Chains A and B, each alone.
Chain A
Amino acid sequence: MRSSRGRGVLALLAVATLLGACSGAGTQASPGTGNVTLRALFMKQAAYSEADVKAMTDSFTAANPNIKVTTDFVGYDALHDKIITDQIGGGGTYDLFLMDTPWPAEFVKAGIVTDITDKIPADVKSGVFDSAWTAATYQGKIYGVPWINDTKFFFYNKKMFADAGITSAPKTWDDVVADAQAIKAKGIVQYPIVWSWKQAEAVICDWTELAGAMGGANFIDAQGNATFNTGGGLAALEFMKKTIDLGLTNPASLGLLEDDVNKTMSAGQAAMALNWTYGYAVMNDPQNSTVAGQIAVTSAPGQGSTTTAGVNGGMSIAVSKTSKNPDAALQYALWVASEKSQEMDTANAFPMWKASFDKPDVTKANPEYFAAAKNEFENLVARPVVPYYTKLSNALQVAIQTALQGKQTPQQALDGVAAQLPDLQK
């Protein structure tokens, strides 16, 4: 009760430092000769797990005996806080840290990440999906080595589809509505679709993915004007509202996160949902799911001329501004992001290397999923890359929920955020 968590807190730490004490601007010692110790900040997760990271690190230190690497792991919620505290409030203990898709703009503005645009080898640049680079880029400069590639796929319950007489996976969001109506009409499940629409970043991810299919997710134009209240953004929200009005979307969705979506599907209470890569393994795991083996996956549906669109959910490894050994740090980042490292564990995460998807020994575990993933990774859309992103996201979350509850029309709700935009940009 007393406690609260938040990335902002640590950012606050940062500011006090700006006001008073100076940030520890590390001297850039030259690497290469002599022994070097690196400290890297990762997060605890399914992919890549601590064991995966340790294996990658061990192979790195075996090949580079003069470089020692210490790895720390924190929960996702604490990750952003730790980075800001360490880099600005604490003088910089970390040489490398994990950076989520929406963060680069803010980190660049705060001056805590190193521009590595010119240091990325050409084969790495071309070998990795373009979308993965987008997640580490701000204003044309690269600030991170892509490490986790992720997007939301379309999961559906094969048995429920078959019971409703549906023979193929939906190709468009209109198909989704038609299939859901068929399933509902047969009384197979009360609410065929479940989403992660809690007032959190999760709802923005679903909305962005839908917008990508429905006319594009260019939410802010080059002049900083709102475009999310026209085109794809508006169409996506209207679609979301329509599925609620038709009784196809579970009304509980407004309080659910991705994990709840998995469980609702796993409980057999929904026929289809969007979720991240790891969802496939969880929903088909007999330990966790009552419908194990029934859950199929495909690229997210498109609409009209768009065949598929996925929200960009990748993460990258950034070299900190305070690192005393930025070259060695980059060397390590490139190692753990290499094709070989990434192919070590494909059960919970896809490699971000295009070539991996064409290697039969990598894809053999689930060729269909790899095919769907390759298709979608080539068609990712990004959330706005602006330094005021968190404020914008908060305003959009409220507007979307207000519209979904029928208290405003989608147009009114999004126009409201557009009107606030100059204030958010301050």
Chain B
Amino acid sequence: MSQAARAGAVVDRRVRKPWPETWVAAAFIAPAALVIVAVVLVPLARAAWMSLFDISLVRPGDEPFVGLGNYIEQLTSGDFWAATFRALWFTVISTALELILGLGLALLMDQPLRFRWLLRTLVILPWALPTIVNALMWRWIDNAEYGALNALLTQLGILHSYQVWLSNSDLAMWMVILADVWKMTPLVAILLLAALQSVSPELVEAAKVDGATTVQAFRHVLLPLIVPVVLIVLVLRTMEAFKVFDIVWIMTGGGPANATQTIAIYAYQTAYQGYDFGRGAALGYLIALVIMVLAAIYLRLLGRVGRD
């Protein structure tokens, strides 16, 4: 760091007149652009091209051009919309829960409590567990016959008899959401904690001296200041959640009877397991489109709040 700082100073002395801001920006962004674009550009273009053809692995050499046919086919398919709404449901519920619980956790970790270092260290545990292990762990916990969930709830007297969780169409999605929220809330909490840490404590205290209650101080002082980070986390989690695959795939395989078949599972099954790669690429772009629309809505709604 200090070497870099010295290098900065050297540059400063050599260049008398500051560079135009656009050039500086270009220099700052160039390394990142190289890292991102060099790797992603070709695959992106390739996928876009493939989405215009009817391609199947088991029909090598016969790949007619279909234009936007793959897109139109998906947009007029009931299965596509059903899977999209399932993914939206998963996204809205899990993201909302993660944000609420994550904010609560962040506020708690921000308090001057004894042993908070313990919480701050252990909070990362769920997040550090590989997704595969997390999904299998929850399938293990949710098992109807020998799972820990039934055992716990029965021993606490909350349930009278063992329940079926993942095999029930009405509950399966909730169980997947539970597993996802458990794993991802720490991420939200840590990012929000970092934001809270950059707010000066004096601001909150000043508000309290002015007679604000804790809730009022949070609502009117703290929250507006961390809105930019809340927004960022929201977009981040939405992008991830909408594409959810692994955790669902391992816990339920999209079942029972497609009750947890999210859009990524649908894309995988209809396109990839069926070897229809044109459709697969088109679905990939449709998923990206939905995410962009969601992100745009957030930025519009919350960006306004943040600017206040």
A–B direct contact (CB < 8 Å): yes
Interface, chain A (partner B; CB < 8 A): 1-9, 11-12, 14-16, 18-19, 84, 88, 106, 109-111, 194, 198-200, 250-256, 260, 263-264, 267, 269-270, 387-388, 390-391, 394, 397-398, 401-402, 405, 407, 424
Q: Are A405 and B256 in contact (CB under 8 A)?
A: yes
C-alpha gap A12/B60 in the complex (Å): 12
Q: Are B247 and A1 in contact (CB under 8 A)?
A: yes
Residue ID in chain A nearest B130 by CB atoms? A3
Q: Are B145 and A8 in contact (CB under 8 A)?
A: no
Residue ID in chain B nearest A105 by CB atoms? B58
- Our pick among B60, B241, B253 for the contact of A199 (Cβ within 8 Å) is B253
Residues of A within 8 A of B247 (CB): 1
Q: Are A15 and B57 in contact (CB under 8 A)?
A: yes
Those 6 A-B pairs whose CB atoms lie nearest each other, nearest first = A8-B272, A199-B255, A255-B167, A252-B144, A4-B245, A109-B58
Q: Are A199 and B63 in contact (CB under 8 A)?
A: no
C-alpha gap A251/B164 in the complex (Å): 7
- Our pick among A3, A8, A394, A405 for the contact of B131 (Cβ within 8 Å) is A3
C-alpha gap A2/B280 in the complex (Å): 17
B257 at the interface (CB under 8 A from A): yes
Residue ID in chain A nearest B55 by CB atoms? A15
- Our pick among A7, A250, A270, A387 for the contact of B58 (Cβ within 8 Å) is A387
Residues of A within 8 A of B146 (CB): 263-264, 267, 269
Q: Are A254 and B255 in contact (CB under 8 A)?
A: yes
Residues of B within 8 A of A394 (CB): 269, 273-274
Q: Are A3 and B256 in contact (CB under 8 A)?
A: no
Q: Are A267 and B273 in contact (CB under 8 A)?
A: no
Beyond A106-B57, A255-B167, 18 additional contacts (C-beta under 8 Å) are A1-B180, A1-B247, A4-B246, A5-B246, A7-B273, A18-B55, A198-B256, A199-B254, A251-B144, A263-B143, A263-B145, A264-B146, A267-B145, A391-B274, A394-B273, A398-B255, A405-B256, A405-B257
Q: Are A1 and B60 in contact (CB under 8 A)?
A: no
C-alpha gap A200/B249 in the complex (Å): 10
- Our pick among B58, B245, B275 for the contact of A1 (Cβ within 8 Å) is B245
Residues of A within 8 A of B165 (CB): 255
Q: Are A198 and B253 in contact (CB under 8 A)?
A: yes
Shortest Cβ distance from residue B77 to the other chain A in the assembled complex, whole angstroms = 11
Q: Are A3 and B274 in contact (CB under 8 A)?
A: no
B83 at the interface (CB under 8 A from A): no
Q: Known contacts being A1-B240, A1-B247, A255-B166, is A18 close to B256, with CB within 8 Å?
A: no
Q: Are B271 and A110 in contact (CB under 8 A)?
A: no
Q: How large is the interface on B (under 10, 10 to 19, 20 to 34, 35 or more residues)?
A: 35 or more
C-alpha gap A12/B168 in the complex (Å): 33
Q: Known contacts being A1-B131, A1-B246, A256-B167, is A11 close to B256, with CB within 8 Å?
A: no
C-alpha gap A5/B180 in the complex (Å): 17
Q: Are B167 and A9 in contact (CB under 8 A)?
A: no
Q: Are B167 and A251 in contact (CB under 8 A)?
A: yes
Q: Are A255 and B245 in contact (CB under 8 A)?
A: no
Shortest Cβ distance from residue A91 to the other chain B in the assembled complex, whole angstroms = 16
Q: Are B257 and A398 in contact (CB under 8 A)?
A: yes
C-alpha gap A40/B240 in the complex (Å): 37
Q: Are A6 and B172 in contact (CB under 8 A)?
A: no
Residues of B within 8 A of A198 (CB): 167, 252-253, 255-256
Q: Are B245 and A11 in contact (CB under 8 A)?
A: no
Q: Are B272 and A250 in contact (CB under 8 A)?
A: no
Residues of A within 8 A of B271 (CB): 8
Q: Are B167 and A253 in contact (CB under 8 A)?
A: yes
B189 at the interface (CB under 8 A from A): no
User: Can you give 28 contacting A-B residue pairs, CB < 8 Å?
Assistant: A1-B240, A1-B245, A2-B243, A3-B131, A3-B245, A8-B273, A14-B57, A15-B50, A18-B60, A19-B63, A109-B58, A110-B58, A198-B253, A199-B258, A251-B164, A252-B143, A252-B166, A255-B166, A255-B167, A255-B256, A256-B167, A260-B143, A260-B145, A269-B146, A390-B275, A394-B273, A397-B255, A398-B257
Q: Known contacts being A15-B277, A252-B145, A255-B164, is A9 close to B258, with CB within 8 Å?
A: no
Residues of B within 8 A of A260 (CB): 143, 145
Q: Known contacts being A19-B55, A264-B146, A267-B145, is A11 close to B257, with CB within 8 Å?
A: no
Q: Are A7 and B272 in contact (CB under 8 A)?
A: yes
Q: Are B272 and A6 in contact (CB under 8 A)?
A: yes
B195 at the interface (CB under 8 A from A): no
Q: Are B272 and A11 in contact (CB under 8 A)?
A: yes
Q: Are A252 and B164 in contact (CB under 8 A)?
A: yes
- Our pick among B63, B166, B168 for the contact of A18 (Cβ within 8 Å) is B63
Q: Are A255 and B272 in contact (CB under 8 A)?
A: no
C-alpha gap A200/B271 in the complex (Å): 17
Q: Are B145 and A250 in contact (CB under 8 A)?
A: yes
C-alpha gap A162/B246 in the complex (Å): 44
Residues of B within 8 A of A19 (CB): 50, 53, 55, 63
Residues of A within 8 A of B270 (CB): 391
C-alpha gap A18/B55 in the complex (Å): 10
C-alpha gap A297/B297 in the complex (Å): 60
- Our pick among B131, B264, B273 for the contact of A391 (Cβ within 8 Å) is B273
Q: Are B246 and A11 in contact (CB under 8 A)?
A: no
B244 at the interface (CB under 8 A from A): yes
Shortest Cβ distance from residue A156 to the other chain B in the assembled complex, whole angstroms = 17
Q: Are A405 and B273 in contact (CB under 8 A)?
A: no
B74 at the interface (CB under 8 A from A): no
C-alpha gap A254/B245 in the complex (Å): 20
- Our pick among B46, B144, B244, B257 for the contact of A401 (Cβ within 8 Å) is B257
C-alpha gap A392/B33 in the complex (Å): 44
Residues of A within 8 A of B249 (CB): 4-5
B157 at the interface (CB under 8 A from A): no
Residues of A within 8 A of B164 (CB): 251-252, 255
- Our pick among A194, A255, A388, A424 for the contact of B172 (Cβ within 8 Å) is A255
B14 at the interface (CB under 8 A from A): no
